[in-house]
Amino acid sequence: MSVRLSTPQSFAGRFRRFLLPFAFTTAVLQASDPFWDAHVAPILQEHCHKCHGGNQTKSGLDLTTPEGALHGGDSGPSVFPGDPDRSPLIRLVTPGADPIMPPKGDPLRADQIELLQTWVRRLGTNSPSTATAIPEPLPPRPPAWRPPDGMGITDAVDRFIERGWKERGVRAARPADDRTWARRVWLDLAGHIPSQAELEAFLADRSPNRREHLVDRLLSSDAHVLHLREVWDTVLMGRAPTKKIEQRAKRGWHSYLEDVIRRDRPWDEVVRELIVARPSGEVDRGAAWFLYERDNNPQAMAEAVAPMVFGLQVQCAQCHDHMVAREIKQAHYWGMVAAFNRSKNVDTPAGFGLAESAIGGFVTFANLRKESQPARLTFFNGRSIDESWPEEGAKPPDDPALYLVPPPPEKQPATAPAIPRFSRRSAFADAVTRDNPLLARATVNRAWALLFGRGLVHPVELMDSKHPPSHPDLLDWLAERFAEDGHHLRPLIRALVLSRVYGLDSRPADQRKGVRVEPDAFASMLTRPLSAEQLHRSLTIATGPVQPSTNNPAQPVDDDLRRALVQQFPDLFPIEYNATLQQALFLSNSPLIDALLADRPDSLLHRINTLTDPTRRVRTAFLGILGREPDREERKAAEEYLRDRPAPDANRQLAWALLTGAEFQLIR
């Protein structure tokens, strides 16, 4: 049994091999055909995919891809490039054909047939008159621009994005002011807004490197460790009820993540530990909880690991090859499941762990045509693990010689998790953490999305052929650099938040009539909602003392407000965020929000209530909650409101309006 390795080559060469995973070209077709995507594919999807849609391929014909159309079916090619009259695909949809396709439903319109004919003619422009060439791997695409050796990540990011602005013909927004930038970076790195005292101290600092100093201070803070732990906990494990969150803390999962972040451990090593799930000591014992919480479900394990190592959601390939991203095969899904189906949760005197059997786990899966296939250890990145299958019906004995740590005798409790000499989990971990550029791509894309509001590939867990990156050369270079620098997240995050792009204002420069700047141009900072955890901590800071306790320690997991916000407010990386009626009702009626606005000693409301001048009360509320002065219109409206109402209640209503408004709940 062995892992099949690829031919040794440079990291850059390996990386470019995965630039467009499993893309192919033929002698007659380029890998990316905009005409097919815009005109041909929609026609075939509407009229033909029911019978020739990849999983239902009557007569062996698959019309979901250009390659499938060119390859044809049992009767031979369906398309002859340059010759629509000779092509069966055209002849059989033309009125008067016998048989006529599609046999049921509406026939193709004349304009649709003309588009198919145009596509076939285009294929023959620079190609032979037949389509019998065998697909060959797409050659590496040379980058349009590459940073010179020695250029830092920050400068390179700005150069890449600036080139994109020029190509798109868009203008960048002006730089954000220091107040806006500081609030943004505090939320992104510390997970909460700055206190009024912290913000004023930053603004009073006149040193030329004050932004770098602030970033370094936040990155080394306990608040940063807590914030990123919450981020990775949600990304890797998902939201959970309070009881399960308490289990994660008790079993060492939270401590493990915090240690990883505090020491900035290489991310590829961390991923390997999560998959192998054999901690070597007290510090990393929580790593096994990542798989343990999946409760002996190998499919749940595979579905949790795929976004981390490939940047993909693979659930759609459980019953058939992916209907949209055809490179994701059903065999890839079940290959990952097979990597985990020998695993079993065990509890030992020393704690918990995942045992692994040395035998069994030889399963099959069926496609929609009910054809049974073995679940071989083959994965999306082209790697596979050679493993001998037993004869049908054979049951090899569970020999202790097959183990480094054998399982306990029957009906005896385990003293330690069983470890086989050949471990599927270990072999899989090798296949996806060594010589796997997709791991770096997925990690870099996630970090970019966390800081900029969307990934270079959007959504972040759909890094497939149907979701190309907005800046492919930038994604390639960042991932390559991330891997070369040892898979460390902290220097990557530092470089990104110090870039010009991160420091742009959220108000676009191009606001002229008819001008639309797509969000993936990153020509202005995208506004994004605070996560529930960011909102919880920020509400506490805004309504509390001017200077909160050092590092804003974590609230207990049973905090009622925190729990309610997690239920009501957005998860991380929303594809498209829209505020809900339930959120508005919660902010308007919840006694938990009312409690924040109590007149306690040292609270924001207490400070406001001690002031008699409406102007000073308005200014104190704006600085404490939004971190800025009110503009003229805001000041006038707020002062008029306060003059017309009794002070304590009016002060509270003003503070409530600022806390629950869009500006407070957004990173902008």
Report in angstroms the alpha-carbon separations of 104 from 64, 100, 141.
19, 9, 43
Q: CA–CA separation, 196 vs 179, rounded Å?
A: 11
Q: What pLDDT digit, counting tens, does each position of 523-537 carry?
A: 999 999 999 999 999
Q: What pLDDT digit, counting tens, does each position of 552-592 carry?
A: 444 444 488 888 898 888 778 777 777 788 888 888 889 99
Per-residue model confidence (pLDDT) at position 324? 78
Per-residue model confidence (pLDDT) at position 29? 36
pLDDT grade for 3, boundaries at 50, 70 and 90? very low
Per-residue model confidence (pLDDT) at position 15? 42
Q: At residue 491, what is the residue type?
A: P
Per-residue model confidence (pLDDT) at position 141? 58
Q: CA–CA separation, 644 vs 636, rounded Å?
A: 13
pLDDT grade for 513, boundaries at 50, 70 and 90? low
Per-residue model confidence (pLDDT) at position 243? 87
Question: 627 vs 73, which has greater pLDDT?
Answer: 627
Averaged pLDDT, 209-217: 97
Burial per residue of 206-233, b for 16 or more beta-carbon CB atoms within 10 angstroms, e otherwise? eeeeebeebbeebbebebbbbbbbbbbb
The residue extents of the domains of the chain are 24-137, 264-433, 529-667
Per-residue model confidence (pLDDT) at position 34? 66
Q: CA–CA separation, 571 vs 556, rounded Å?
A: 20
Q: CA–CA separation, 478 vs 481, rounded Å?
A: 5
Q: CA–CA separation, 144 vs 141, rounded Å?
A: 9
pLDDT grade for 265, boundaries at 50, 70 and 90? very high
Instruction: Note the pTM of the prediction, 2 decimals.
Output: 0.82
pLDDT grade for 620, boundaries at 50, 70 and 90? very high
Given a cut of 70, whether residue 28 has pLDDT beyond it is no
Per-residue model confidence (pLDDT) at position 575? 73
Given a cut of 60, whether residue 466 has pLDDT beyond it is yes
pLDDT grade for 50, boundaries at 50, 70 and 90? confident
pLDDT above 90: percentage of residues in the chain: 58
Q: What pLDDT digit, counting tens, does each position of 142-158 carry?
A: 667 899 999 999 999 99
Q: What pLDDT digit, counting tens, does each position of 369-403 carry?
A: 788 999 999 999 999 999 999 988 788 899 999 99
User: Which of 70-84, 289-303, 347-361 has maximum average pLDDT?
Assistant: 289-303
Averaged pLDDT, 598-621: 92
Per-residue model confidence (pLDDT) at position 313? 92
Q: CA–CA separation, 618 vs 640, rounded Å?
A: 10
Given a cut of 90, whether residue 132 has pLDDT beyond it is no
Per-residue model confidence (pLDDT) at position 439? 97
Given a cut of 70, whether residue 120 has pLDDT beyond it is yes
Q: Smallest Cα–Cα separation from 216: which of 204, 202, 230? A: 202
Averaged pLDDT, 287-292: 96
Averaged pLDDT, 182-207: 95
For the chain, the average pLDDT equals 86
Per-residue model confidence (pLDDT) at position 63? 84
Given a cut of 70, whether residue 12 has pLDDT beyond it is no
Given a cut of 80, whether residue 80 has pLDDT beyond it is yes
Per-residue model confidence (pLDDT) at position 384? 93
| Residues ≥6 apart with Cβ < 8 Å to 651 | 605, 608, 609, 617, 621, 642
Q: What pLDDT digit, counting tens, does each position of 411-438 carry?
A: 888 899 999 999 999 999 999 999 999 9
